[in-house]
C-alpha cells in the first residue's frame, strides 16, 4: 500500500525558519518531490531528493532519509508569500508514472 | 519553453453540455497527465499518456474522455458532467525517460477551474 503523512497545517512568523515533515511507506521508492501550491494555482516544483542527505536551494532545503522513510522541507527567512500548501510526493520509479501525493501541509506565515 | 499551458482558465457548464479542456507543452516530454483536484485535497491522478498511448486510466467515469492528438497536446472531453465534478483540472507532463533521476518530475499547467451547474 501507499501511505504518506504530513501535518495538515502549520503557522510560522515572518523571518523565522519552519520545517515541514513528510513520512512515507510505499511499495516502491525512487525519490521524493516537494511541490508548493498557492490557493487556486497549480503545484510548482521545489525539489527532488533521490539520495540521503540535505539539498539546499536558496531559502529552501530538502532532506531525505531513505532508511527511515522520512523527508523534510526547510524554509528559512520566511516571507508572507511563502504562505501556501506544500505537497510531498513519492516517485515510485520502476517505470511507474504515478506519483503518490501526501495530503499537503498548509503553511500560514504571519507578521 | 518550459511551461505547460491549459485552456480555458475557467469553465462553467451545464450538466447537458459538451466541452473540452486543452493542454499543450513544447518541452519534448513524452508523458502527459490529467489530474483532478478538489479544494484542500492533493491532486488525484485521472489519466496518463505515454508516447501518445493511454497508459493509465484510474477508474474514471466515461463522462471524461481523454485524447492525445500528438506528443505536445492533450485534451479532456467532458460530457454530461455532474455538479460533484466541479474541481480544478490540472495537466502535467514529464520526460518519461528511464534512468534519468528527474525523469518523473512533473511540470504542472495552471489548471482549469471547472464549475458544473
Are residues B98 and A91, on separate chains, in Cβ contact within 8 Å?
no
Are residues B56 and A44, on separate chains, in Cβ contact within 8 Å?
no
User: In chain A, how many H helices and how many E strands?
Assistant: 0, 11
Count of C-beta atoms within a 10 Å radius of residue B78: 20
* Contact residues, B window 30-49, toward A, CB-based 8 Å cutoff: 31, 33, 40-43, 45, 48
User: A17-21, A102-106, B51-55: which has the minimum mean pLDDT?
Assistant: B51-55
Per-residue pLDDT reduced to its tens digit, B41-51: 889 989 999 88
Mean pLDDT of B58-72: 92
Per-residue pLDDT reduced to its tens digit, B18-35: 999 999 999 989 899 999
Burial class (CB in 10 A: 0-12, 13-18, 19+), B53: exposed
Q: Does the structure show a pLDDT above 90 at A84?
A: yes
Q: Does the structure show a pLDDT above 60 at B88?
A: yes
Q: How many CB pairs under 8 A join A and B?
A: 56
Amino acid at each position: 500500500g501507499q501511505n504518506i503523512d504530513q501535518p495538515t497545517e502549520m503557522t510560522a512568523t515572518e523571518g523565522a525558519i519552519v520545517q515541514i515533515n513528510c513520512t512515507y511507506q510505499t511499495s516502491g521508492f525512487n525519490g521524493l518531490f516537494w511541490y508548493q501550491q498557492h490557493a487556486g494555482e497549480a503545484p510548482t516544483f521545489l525539489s527532488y531528493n533521490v539520495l540521503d542527505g540535505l539539498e539546499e536551494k536558496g531559502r529552501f532545503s530538502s532532506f531525505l532519509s531513505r532508511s527511515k522513510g522520512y523527508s523534510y522541507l526547510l524554509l528559512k527567512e520566511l516571507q508572507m508569500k511563502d504562505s501556501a500548501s506544500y505537497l510531498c510526493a513519492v516517485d515510485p520509479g520502476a517505470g511507474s508514472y504515478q506519483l503518490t501525493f501526501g495530503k499537503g501541509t498548509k503553511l500560514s506565515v504571519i507578521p | 519553453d518550459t511551461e505547460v499551458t491549459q485552456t480555458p482558465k475557467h469553465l462553467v457548464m451545464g450538466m447537458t453540455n459538451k466541452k473540452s479542456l486543452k493542454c499543450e507543452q513544447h518541452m519534448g516530454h513524452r508523458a502527459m497527465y490529467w489530474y483532478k483536484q478538489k479544494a484542500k485535497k492533493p491532486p488525484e491522478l485521472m489519466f496518463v499518456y505515454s508516447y501518445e498511448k493511454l497508459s493509465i486510466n484510474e477508474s474514471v467515469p466515461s463522462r471524461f474522455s481523454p485524447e492525445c492528438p500528438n506528443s505536445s497536446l492533450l485534451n479532456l472531453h467532458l460530457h454530461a458532467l455532474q455538479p460533484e465534478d466541479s474541481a480544478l483540472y490540472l495537466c502535467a507532463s514529464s520526460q518519461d525517460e528511464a534512468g534519468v533521476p528527474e525523469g518523473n518530475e512533473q511540470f504542472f499547467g495552471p489548471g482549469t477551474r471547472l464549475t458544473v451547474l
